């Protein structure tokens, strides 16, 4: 089962080379479901039905999906899984194209904290969105994705960088990151060349394309690897693996009830009768601190939850009661032990690939887990027959963070930080264990099914 789930994940990632494409891929998947999913517009009034399936998109790259519960919110609270749609990497600058010695290069900015050296010698391309003036003279937008390898950051030969294996590859961020796109003749103007390329790809006249958000992505598809194909590798595992797991758990109609026995009674549309309101919240901008109109530190999720309450005639006391009853799983990837670098890990908190989801703890609350939420998650793992592991970062290394502490602080709800173990976080080519993906889907399904 895990193998098919991971193949589905790799297809999901390969169809989603930018956060804007992640939302498009999810929307396409919703359209294939037997239950109808309705897109809600934030500028319109919402009418919600118990058991109804809805989603809201903010600025094309953050999405909140929910299945309205059968019972009043104050009785059940919200069951939320949060994750992020963005990954660290390179983004194209506004005046991107320049010519140097007959070569056209694109200037880039660093988005978040990628391992820059991993971007060298890869078959890179571009994906994102453009904003343009349409025939009615309105500002419209369109996603754009170049399929073929378009760009490259060639390494310097070892003959010119003799110390690279001793010192590591260091790239000067301003001058050594521009990506090679083409050779240019004397008459060709770089900016014109680049806007004509966008025109060719989108069918929109270059004079009408006013701006863009373009991410650099790796065209190499995901693969299984290892003697028994027990591992997999792709870009953006952090954090599309968590988005994918949560989405599969939400869409799965085989949720069993808390007793682990019979399913809830069927409702119209072929789904199951589900008591509580289940939510998946996938945010852009986690890698740069979450502070934006669509980030986890913005108003998106609180706005959606509040509007669910308003649309179901929940008064403000009952809304507060609902939040007090709610729980959020903040799902983001964890650092798997790599035996070549034993000193990078706390020796008592090595987490291993293919040994199950990781509960992440940090006394300084870089992760939102505490003893009660950790115990609850461990219990759901046991109910789902899934192994789990516990992670704590080395005390002498600064610990990363997630959307967990931010979101639980904003909403005042109990939360846990969990994630599957992976290697090479923030490399353009990350890898993880096949079994863990299936484990994570199972425990998330259990979480959604628990009364």
Identify the H or E element spanning 199.
helix 190-202
Site string (206-245) toward Zn ion, x via CB under 5 A: --------------------------------xx------
Q: What minimum distance in Å lies between the beta carbon of 5 and Zn ion?
A: 20
In the range 22-51, which residues lie near Zn ion by CB under 5 A? none
Q: What minimum distance in Å lies between the beta carbon of 209 and Zn ion?
A: 31
In the range 277-316, which residues lie near Zn ion by CB under 5 A? none
Measured from the CB atom, the residue of 218 and 238 that comes closer to Zn ion is 238
Measured from the CB atom, the residue of 218 and 332 that comes closer to Zn ion is 332
Stretch that binds Zn ion, among 49-57, 206-214, 219-227, 330-338 (CB under 5 A): 330-338
Q: What minimum distance in Å lies between the beta carbon of 214 and Zn ion?
A: 21
Q: Cα separation of 161 and 163, whole Å?
A: 6
Measured from the CB atom, the residue of 14 and 286 that comes closer to Zn ion is 286
Q: What minimum distance in Å lies between the beta carbon of 333 and Zn ion?
A: 6
Measured from the CB atom, the residue of 23 and 74 that comes closer to Zn ion is 23
Residue 92 has a CB neighbour count (10 Å cut-off) of: 21
Q: Establish if 332 lies at the interface with Zn ion (CB under 5 A).
A: yes
Q: By the 8 A CB rule, do 416 and 330 touch?
A: yes
Q: What minimum distance in Å lies between the beta carbon of 187 and Zn ion?
A: 46
- Sheet with 421-423: strands ordered across: 223-225, 231-234, 430-433, 421-423, 334-335
Q: What minimum distance in Å lies between the beta carbon of 92 and Zn ion?
A: 22
Measured from the CB atom, the residue of 53 and 360 that comes closer to Zn ion is 360
Q: What minimum distance in Å lies between the beta carbon of 394 and Zn ion?
A: 19
Q: By the 8 A CB rule, do 98 and 108 touch?
A: no
b/e string for 213-248 if b means 16 or more Cβ within 10 A? bbbbbbbbebebeeeeeebbbbbbbbbbbbbbbbbb
Q: What minimum distance in Å lies between the beta carbon of 415 and Zn ion?
A: 15
Measured from the CB atom, the residue of 54 and 232 that comes closer to Zn ion is 232
Q: CA 176, 180, 184, 189: dihedral to nearest 10 degrees?
A: -70
How many residues bind Zn ion (CB under 5 A)? The answer is 3
Stretch that binds Zn ion, among 205-213, 324-332, 378-386, 442-450 (CB under 5 A): 324-332
CA atoms within 13 A on the CB side of 409: 12
Q: What minimum distance in Å lies between the beta carbon of 349 and Zn ion?
A: 19
Measured from the CB atom, the residue of 238 and 284 that comes closer to Zn ion is 238
Q: Cα separation of 319 and 396, whole Å?
A: 42
Measured from the CB atom, the residue of 132 and 377 that comes closer to Zn ion is 377
Tokens for 397, please give them. Answer: 């290394």
Measured from the CB atom, the residue of 213 and 332 that comes closer to Zn ion is 332
CA atoms within 13 A on the CB side of 285: 18
With CA atoms as reference, report the closest residue to 413 among 334, 315, 333, 330. Answer: 330
Residue 196 has a CB neighbour count (10 Å cut-off) of: 14
DSSP state of 152: B
Going by their DSSP bridges, the two strands 223-225 and 231-234 should be labelled as antiparallel
With CA atoms as reference, report the closest residue to 65 among 318, 308, 370. Answer: 308
Q: By the 8 A CB rule, do 333 and 420 touch?
A: yes
Contacting residues toward Zn ion, per CB under 5 A: 238-239, 332
């Amino acid at each position: 089962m895990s193998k098919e789930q991971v193949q589905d994940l790799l297809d999901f990632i390969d169809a989603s080379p930018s956060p804007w494409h992640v939302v498009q891929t999810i929307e396409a998947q919703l359209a294939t479901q037997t239950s109808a999913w309705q897109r809600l517009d934030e500028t319109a009034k919402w009418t919600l039905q118990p058991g109804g399936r809805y989603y809201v998109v903010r600025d094309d790259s953050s999405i909140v999906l929910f299945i309205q519960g059968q019972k009043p919110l104050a009785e059940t609270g919200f069951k939320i899984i949060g994750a992020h749609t963005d990954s660290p990497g390179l983004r194209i600058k506004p005046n991107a194209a320049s010519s140097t010695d007959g070569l056209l290069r694109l200037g880039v900015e660093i988005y978040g904290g990628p391992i820059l050296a991993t971007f060298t010698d890869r078959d890179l391309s571009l994906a994102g969105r453009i904003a343009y003036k349409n025939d009615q003279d309105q500002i419209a937008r369109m996603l754009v994705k170049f399929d073929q390898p378009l760009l490259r950051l060639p390494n310097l030969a070892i003959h010119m960088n003799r110390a690279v294996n001793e010192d590591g590859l260091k790239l000067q961020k301003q001058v050594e990151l521009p990506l090679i796109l083409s050779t240019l003749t004397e008459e060709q103007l770089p900016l014109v060349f680049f806007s004509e390329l966008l025109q060719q790809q989108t069918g929109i006249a270059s004079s009408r394309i006013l701006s863009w958000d373009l991410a650099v992505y790796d065209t190499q598809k995901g693969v299984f690897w290892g003697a028994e194909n027990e591992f997999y590798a792709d870009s953006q595992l952090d954090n599309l693996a968590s988005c994918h797991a949560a989405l599969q758990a939400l869409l799965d109609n085989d949720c069993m009830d808390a007793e682990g026995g019979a399913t809830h009674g069927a409702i119209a549309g072929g789904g199951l009768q589900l008591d509580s309101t289940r939510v998946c919240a996938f945010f852009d901008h986690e890698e740069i601190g979450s502070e934006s109109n669509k980030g986890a530190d913005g108003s998106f999720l609180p706005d959606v939850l509040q509007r669910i309450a308003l649309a179901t005639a929940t008064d403000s006391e009952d809304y507060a009661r609902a939040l007090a009853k709610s729980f959020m799983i903040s799902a983001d990837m964890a650092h798997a032990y790599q035996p070549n670098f034993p000193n990078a890990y706390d020796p008592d908190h090595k987490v291993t690939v293919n040994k199950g989801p990781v509960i992440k703890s940090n006394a300084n609350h870089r992760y939102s887990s505490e003893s009660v939420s950790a115990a609850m998650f461990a219990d759901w793992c046991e109910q789902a027959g899934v192994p789990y592991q516990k992670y704590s970062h080395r005390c002498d290394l600064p610990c990363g963070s997630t959307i967990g502490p931010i979101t639980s602080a904003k909403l005042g709800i109990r939360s846990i930080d969990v994630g599957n173990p992976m290697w090479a976080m923030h490399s353009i080519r990350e890898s993880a264990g096949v079994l863990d993906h299936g484990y994570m889907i199972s425990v998330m399904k259990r979480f959604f099914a628990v009364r």
